[in-house]
Structure formats: C-alpha cells, structure tokens
Structure 1
C-alpha cells in the first residue's frame, strides 16, 4: 500500500473509492466558471464556500456535462445531481479537515424513519444522514478550478475504506494505519470522483495560490422512506 502522503493519481473507483481524470474540462470553460462564481456564488464574508449552487443555470449545465463525460458516464448513468458545493482554500481562507466520511445529504424536509439521523439546517436547507445503502449509491465529482499542489491543502484519501460502511473514529484511524493515504494533486480542469464513504482529509494550505473546487454530488433519482431531494438536476 502507498505510504502516507504519497502523490499517486492511479486510483480505481471500484477498488479505492476514488478516481482521477486529467483535463475533463477545457481551460476556457474553467475561466468561464470562475467568472460565474465571482458573479453569482454569493459566499458570505469570512466563509470558505457555499452549498447552494445547483439552482443556478450554469451549475446545472455543468452537472449535466460532467454526467455525460465519457470517463464519468458509466459511473453516473441513472443518477441525478443533488448538490453543488463551492470550496475555496488559501492562506487567507484556510482550514484543516480531519479524517472523515461525507454522511449528510440535502433533503426537502424532515422525515421520521429508521436509519435517518443527524438532522441539521444549513444555509436554510435541511440536511440528514441517510441509511448506509443510500450513502453507498452516491458519487461526488470534484472539479478543480486551480492547480492543487502539495502546498495547497490537497485531498488525501484512504483507498478501499468506502467498502466498510460507516466508520467510527477508531475504525477510521485503523483503516488509515492499515492502508495509508493517497494524496490527490490536480491541475485546472481535472476531476476527482469520490465515494462519500471513502475516508478523506486535507491539511491547511501553505502556499499562496487558491484551491478552488466545485463539488457536485450525484445520487439516485428517488429516495426511500418518503424522503425527497431538496433539488435535482
């Protein structure tokens, strides 16, 4: 297995819970997306991003484009976009992300059903932790808008950890010790696909360049137990 912090783009989605594709979006479109974010992202002062971009036409078009990309289409067939989050990490907007799984999804409202937990309201939207089978069906696609080098707080993933369901802190630590981490460096236009149950973390940025990412989550068109997505595209 790879030692901690070894940069290695050779990931397999089924085996590792993550995969990396180069130049999935061309440079001119990356410039256009950055302009759209500057005009419409409406990030609150002092915050590192926003969770509520999918309602915007340009974002919906991007979600459809990525779903139809030849490299991504086999994994996204039959899924719909359910959320788009924008992250911007830099020395000015900086944070540390400890080892974790992404367990919360945006839904239209609260329900009372077994397996649904962790209810919270963020940016005026309900989020919940759904049953493990729902989490296992999701795929996040992270589009890099900037170069992400070793000093830019890149994502680190624990390969294969998505195959073991929800993991508590001790189990997560054991899986990282057993399997190591893969550091996901990227260039503008690169895409990293990530199963939300894949353990991942990132360090604070040490360089001067921004690390801007659009993180689009795809899931099944319908949810069990009467739950509904807040928005789809």
Structure 2
C-alpha cells in the first residue's frame, strides 16, 4: 500500500530509515548547541518531564538542510504534491524518567499572526505572544504533520497511540468517539524514522516506563492561503 493510501485510510503512516546516523548526529549537535548557548529563550519550555522548543525551524534554522534531505523531500512530493510550506514546528525532548503524558485529542488549532474576526475561525487563544485559532475543518483536512524521531520510540517511552481512521470523522468531541468499536495502534518508530499523520487523527501518548529518552521534531504543513489578510505566523516556504 502506498504512503498516500495508508494516510488516507488510517490517518497516518510510519517510514523508517529516512535519516542516517550522521544526519541524526548533526541534528542533535545543532539542537544542543542552540539550547546550551541560549538556555533562557522565551520559546523554550522546560520542566522535569519535558523540554520543548516552539517555532523550532525559526529558532534553529540551520537544522532545515538536514531535515529536508532528498529522502524527505521525495516523500512529501510523491505523497502530497507540491506547494506545501511549514506552518508550525516544535521540538520535544521527553527525558528518561518523564511522567508526562497526553490524553487523546485532535490537533485543531493553527498559529496565525493576528486576531481577526472571520466566519468559522473560532476558539482564539494567545500563547507566548502568538495567536492560535481553530480554522474550518476543510483547512485541517488538507494539512499534514511529520514527526521526525531522533530516538527509537516504543510503547515504553511514550510512542504515540492513535485511533485508526478517526481523522475521517471530522472535528469530534472525544466523548462522542466509540472507543469499544475503534482500533487503537501504538506507533513505534525507529531512530531516524518518521511518522506522517493528519491533524484530525485522535492521538495520545503514555508516560515513559523504560528510562529511555524520546526526542521528536514535529512539523506541520499546509498549502492554503488564509482569508481576509490572516497569515500563518510561522510560514516558511522551502526552496529546492
């Protein structure tokens, strides 16, 4: 089954060996240098259970040449076509003894540059001076997310678990999902592999139980222009 068919039918796909050891080492080195040299950056979030860098591709732009290697660029173009750009990125580092977990949810918001009252754009929030809003379902349905795995990720260190094909149900309250009749999959990914998923896919992650670190670069993509002068606040067009 092709990646495109897997994503359409299940809401996700896993592709291993997208990055070699050297590419992963370069990514780790660039991230560590950035966090070491500027530990108090406003986009950094640090706690006992999680370290995160928001707007990652803007905070550590030198990683983009390694992230968008020929393998990943080919996967994106062959699976989704041309015209997509980055709309959001986050780096997650879940430490070895992390008790951090995330309950089942859909990714319903996008990051934008300002607040404008537009029909069907709702649930506005502001976090770290950045506006977020829930757009119409049609925008979310066309977008996709790539999660790049810096470490091997298993059920024991917080691999995502998903409800297969839940992305096809539209925007849905969690209590309206019939868990007894749904198929749950734990998405284990090798170091250097990726997971591609649709924003409306219900996903969650458990606490770490095996004392193994889990680092992931999460990047969201779209090809849609927003209405009435609204702009993606992290929009970055990738040049070949």
So what's the TM-score if we normalise by structure 1? 0.87
What's the CA shift string for 1:8-50, capped at 9, x where partnerless? xxx9111011011011111111111111111225534315312
Please say if residues 143 and 198 of structure 2, whose CA atoms lie closer than 8 Å, have aligned partners that are also in contact. Answer: yes
Q: Shift of the alpha carbon at 1:68?
A: 5.0
Query: Aligned-pair distance for 1:181?
Result: 0.7
Shift of the 17–66 alpha-carbon distance from structure 1 to 2, 3 Å rule, reads: farther
| 2:18 equivalent in structure 1 | 24
TM-score of the pair, normalised by structure 2 = 0.85
Shift of 1:100: 0.5
**For structure 1, which runs of at least 5 residues remain unmatched after alignment?**
1-10
- Structure 2: which 5+ residue stretches go unaligned? none
Matches within 5 A, 1:50-199: 50-55=53-58, 56-62=60-66, 64-65=68-69, 69-76=73-80, 77-172=82-177, 174=178, 176-199=179-202
Instruction: Flag as ranges the 4+ runs of structure 1 deviating above 6 A.
Output: none
How many pairs does the alignment contain?
221
Q: Is the CA contact (8 Å cut-off) linking 1:63 and 1:81 kept in structure 2?
A: no
Deviation per CA, 1:39-79: give whole Å up to 9, x if none: 22553431531221121322443554478532332234221
Task: Give the CA deviation at 1:203.
Answer: 0.6
Higher relative contact order (CA 8 A, sep 6+): 1
Task: Supply the distance in 1 between the matched residues of 2:200 and 2:145 (Cα, whole angstroms).
Answer: 10
Task: Answer whether contact 1:67 1:73 (CA < 8 A) is retained.
Answer: no
1:91 deviates by 4.0
